[in-house]
């Protein structure tokens, strides 16, 4: 014990600090929430302040899957595949009520919450959420990334 444990926990903290400020998102944008996502990503709200300013358009290069917009049953296998292609460590943000619960699309076509398909770390409700809510969700994700046990 002693030295080893002390060293590991401090390394965990350092890695967590680094990871929370280097979020490379994969925006999986399917619907109107995409507008609010774009507003958040642009200079007015500037998510680059949180180290999340560079979306990657390949899941293999991304850490955080932003699921932005309604997911239909037809789209569900695609989303699952994108999630599976991402390398560890990875996180998922459900952006908007449609991804959280299906929203008001309680019908034959819509997945009733993406957490029925893939694990979700942060839920951002709203239809669509304001950029402030998105940033709040992003900061909650940062806290989560920093606080969790790091695997490396």
Partner 1 sequence: MDGAAMLAALRARFGSGVIETHDFRGDHTAVVTREALPRVLAHCRDEPALAFEMLTDLTAVDYSKYPGREDGPRFEVVYHLYSIAHNHRLRVKVRVDEDDAVVPTAVDLWPVADWFEREVWDMFGVRFAGHPDPRRLLMYEEFVGHPLRKDYPIDRRQPLIGPTN
User: Which spans of this chain sit near partner 1 (rule: CB under 8 A)?
Assistant: 73-74, 76-77, 80, 106-109, 111-113, 116-117
The pair phi, psi for residue 29, each rounded to 5°, is: -100, 120
Using the minimum distance from each CB to partner 1, give the nearer residue, 74 or 151.
Answer: 74
Rounded least distance, CB 89 to partner 1, Å: 23
Rounded least distance, CB 123 to partner 1, Å: 16
Using the minimum distance from each CB to partner 1, give the nearer residue, 40 or 110.
Answer: 110
C-alpha closest to that of 25 among 149, 141, 152, 133: 141
Residues 117 and 86 sit within 8 Å (Cβ to Cβ): no
Using the minimum distance from each CB to partner 1, give the nearer residue, 55 or 69.
Answer: 69
Residues 48 and 40 sit within 8 Å (Cβ to Cβ): no
Using the minimum distance from each CB to partner 1, give the nearer residue, 57 or 108.
Answer: 108
Residues 99 and 68 sit within 8 Å (Cβ to Cβ): yes
C-alpha closest to that of 131 among 64, 30, 12, 49: 49
Rounded least distance, CB 121 to partner 1, Å: 18
């Amino acid at each position: 014990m002693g030295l080893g444990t002390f060293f590991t926990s401090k390394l965990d903290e350092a890695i967590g600090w680094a990871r929370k400020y280097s979020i490379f998102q994969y925006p999986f944008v399917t619907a109107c929430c995409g507008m609010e996502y774009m507003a958040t990503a642009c200079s007015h709200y500037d998510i680059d302040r949180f180290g999340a300013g560079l979306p990657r358009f390949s899941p293999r290069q991304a850490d955080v899957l932003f699921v932005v917009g309604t997911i239909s049953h037809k789209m569900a296998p695609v989303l699952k595949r994108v999630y599976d292609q991402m390398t560890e460590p990875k996180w998922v943000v459900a952006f908007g009520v449609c991804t959280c619960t299906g929203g008001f699309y309680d019908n034959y076509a819509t997945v009733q919450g993406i957490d029925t398909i893939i694990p979700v770390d942060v839920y951002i409700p709203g239809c669509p959420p304001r950029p402030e809510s998105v940033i709040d969700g992003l900061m909650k994700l940062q806290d989560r990334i920093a606080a969790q046990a790091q695997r490396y």
